[in-house]
Amino acid sequence: MAIVHVTRELPGDALQRIPDAGHQLVVRREQMPPSPAELRRIAADADALITTLADRVNAELLDAAPRLKVVANYAVGADNIDVQAALRRDIAVGVTPDVLTDATADMTLALLLSVARHIPVAARTVTDGAWKTWEPAGHLGLELRGARLLVVGPGRIGRAVGERAAAFGMDVTYAGRDADLLAVLPDADVVTLHVPLSLDTRKLIGEAELAAMKPGALLINTARGGLVDQDALVDALERGHLGGAGLDVTTPEPLPPHDPLLELPNVLVLPHIGSATVTARHRMTELAVGNVLAALDGDPLPNPAKA
Ligand code: DGY
Give the span between the Cα atoms of 204 and 222, in whole angstroms.
14
* Rounded CA separation 167/160 (Å): 11
Instruction: Show pLDDT as tens, one digit a residue, over the chain (307 residues).
Output: 999 999 999 999 999 999 999 999 999 999 999 999 999 999 999 999 999 999 999 999 999 999 999 999 999 999 999 999 999 999 999 999 999 999 999 999 999 999 999 999 999 999 999 999 999 999 999 999 999 999 999 999 999 999 999 999 999 999 999 999 999 999 999 999 999 999 999 999 999 999 999 999 999 999 999 999 999 999 999 999 999 999 999 999 999 999 999 999 999 999 999 999 999 999 999 999 999 999 999 999 999 999 8
Distance 281 CA to ligand 1 centre (A): 10
Residue 213 counted as domain residue: yes
Ligand 1 contacts (CB < 6 A) are 53, 75-77, 100, 274-275
Task: CATH number of the domain at 14, please.
Answer: 3.40.50.720
Any domain includes 87: yes
Range of the domain at 286: 3-97+278-296
Q: Are residues 110 and 131 in the same domain?
A: yes
Specify whether 68 is located in the same domain as 187.
Answer: no
Q: Is residue 302 domain-resident?
A: no
Cβ atoms of 230 and 257 closer than 8 Å: no
Alpha helices in the chain (DSSP H): 17-20, 36-43, 59-63, 83-88, 101-116, 119-127, 156-167, 181-184, 207-212, 230-238, 278-296
> Closest ligand 1 atom, CA of 222?
5
Check whether residue 242 and residue 185 sit in a common domain. Answer: yes
| Position 37 in a domain | yes
Same domain membership, residue 130 and residue 89: no
Same domain, 93 and 116: no
**Do 205 and 157 reside in the same domain of the chain?**
yes
CA torsion through residues 9, 15, 16, 21, sign: negative
Q: How far is the CA of 134 from the centre of ligand 1 (A)?
A: 40
Q: Answer whether 117's CB lies under 8 Å from 90's CB.
A: no
Residues 19 and 93 in one domain: yes
What is the distance in A from the centroid of ligand 1 to the CA of 289? 16
Closest ligand 1 atom to Cα of 77: 3
Which protein residue's CA is at the shortest distance from atom 6 of ligand 1?
A: 75
Domain tally, the chain:
2
Annotation says 202 is catalytic: no
Q: Whose CA is nearest to atom 4 of ligand 1?
A: 75
89 is catalytic: no
